[in-house]
Amino acid sequence: MPDTAASIKVSPTTNAGPPVIDLQQLSVTFGGRPILRELNGQLRGRAIGLLGPNGAGKTTLIHTLLGFHAPSSGTASLFGCDIRGDANQIKGLVGYMPERDAFIAKMSCVHFVRYLAELSGLPAAAALERAHEALFFVGLGEARYRNLDTFSLGMKQLAKLAQAIVHGPKLIFLDEPTNGLDPPARTRMIKMIREIRDSGEANIVLSSHLLRDVEECCEEIVILKDGRLVTYCNLEEERRANKKFLMLETRGDLKPFVSAVNGLDCEYAITGDHRVKLILQEQTEVRDIYRLAAQTNVQIRRLSYKRDSLEDIFLKAMENGSN
């Protein structure tokens, strides 16, 4: 009986089924120098952002999960397949867009994508059909018969994305996909990544040092520092957790207002002449604040939720990691 494409379903952000990536004390050492140190965690998001300063081990982690480097200790699994024992099966489930230029010279774009699709196991006719589809999907439909050597940097990035998705992988590793792209090209790339994510057919691991890219595409983030996993969080949950952190701009006498707020067991800090920061209790609603303001004759000119931005989370992780 012929092999068929693996039927593992991608996992939404739930705890059901095997995690997308399960890191179990994963360590990688090159020439005696530890690059990844005992990484642990179960990553389940549809789009996982891999963040970290240069040299943190992001690319090494991807390469290790792809089977390019052997772990020095520990292991990891993708969709329940162990990277040590089921490397071939894993490679059938993943697509990889490397950071560096990667193509075969003197080859047309459609030929290149079809060739790699065939190496993934697609029969020749299906590979050609899907190569055309993938190139139209990434926006290289008109240029698909041109040689890759003649492509601009942005077009090469798109060709790399096309080859990463041509065989319909369940997990796509994107290593700095927006590198070298101008703003419109970057926006297009981000849009495509979100489309793939929203299709629900593939999980994405996006490695980038550009926080904005990760913020726009990912729902979970992993932050690495010096080969250690310093933060793993769900961005949405993180934001929700900070929902009751309020910034107020007011007019009027603040003293009775803040003492009334204090009566609600809310912490406060006066940050300027008319500015107050409040941390609301679980049971306190925003309308209670309005009510107190009305009772104490204070005008609320502006009220905003102060959320932790990804930058805050990243910087916090860097600070904590250095302790």
Partner 1 sequence: MAVLERSYKPYVGRLSPQWSRFLIIPRDALRDVFRSKIFTGLFLLSFVWPLVCAILIYLHHNAAVLALWQLPLRDLVPIDASFFRLWIVVPQGYMGFFLAMLVAPSQVSRDLTNNALPLVLSRPFSRTDYVVGKMSIVIILLSAITWVPGLILFLLQSYLEGWSWFSQNIPIASAIFIGSLVWILLLALTTQAISAWVRWRLASRAVLLGVFFIPSIFSVVVNEIFRTEWGYLFDLQALIWNIWSGLFGQFQTQQTVIDTMGAEQIDPLSSSPPLWASWLVMFLICAACLALLSRKVKAYEVVK
User: Using CB under 8 A as the criterion, which residues of the chain lie in contact with partner 1 when the complex forms?
Assistant: 2-5, 7, 30-31, 63, 66, 68-69, 88-89, 91-92, 94-96, 98, 100-106, 115-116, 118-123, 126, 129-130, 132-133, 136-137, 141, 160, 163, 165, 167-170, 195-196, 199, 201-202
Measured between its terminal Cα atoms, the distance across the chain in Å is 56
Closest CA to 307 of 243, 212, 211, 247: 243
Non-local CB neighbours of 287 within 8 Å, separated by 6+ positions: none
Q: Which is nearer to partner 1, 49 or 98 (CB)?
A: 98
Q: Which is nearer to partner 1, 199 or 299 (CB)?
A: 199
Q: Which is nearer to partner 1, 22 or 175 (CB)?
A: 175
Q: ∠ CA 296-301-305 to the nearest 5 degrees?
A: 100
Rounded to 5 degrees, φ, ψ at 130 are -70, -30
* Residue 278 token pair: 């409040």
Q: Which is nearer to partner 1, 163 or 250 (CB)?
A: 163
Shortest Cβ 88–partner 1 spacing (Å):
5
Closest CA to 76 of 199, 219, 210, 205: 205
Q: Are 303 and 292 in contact (CB under 8 A)?
A: no
Shortest Cβ 303–partner 1 spacing (Å):
40
What is the chain's length? 323
In three-state secondary structure terms, 1 is: coil
**C-alpha to C-alpha distance for 144 and 67, rounded to whole angstroms:** 30
Shortest Cβ 70–partner 1 spacing (Å):
11
Shortest Cβ 160–partner 1 spacing (Å):
8
Shortest Cβ 228–partner 1 spacing (Å):
20
Q: Which is nearer to partner 1, 165 or 310 (CB)?
A: 165
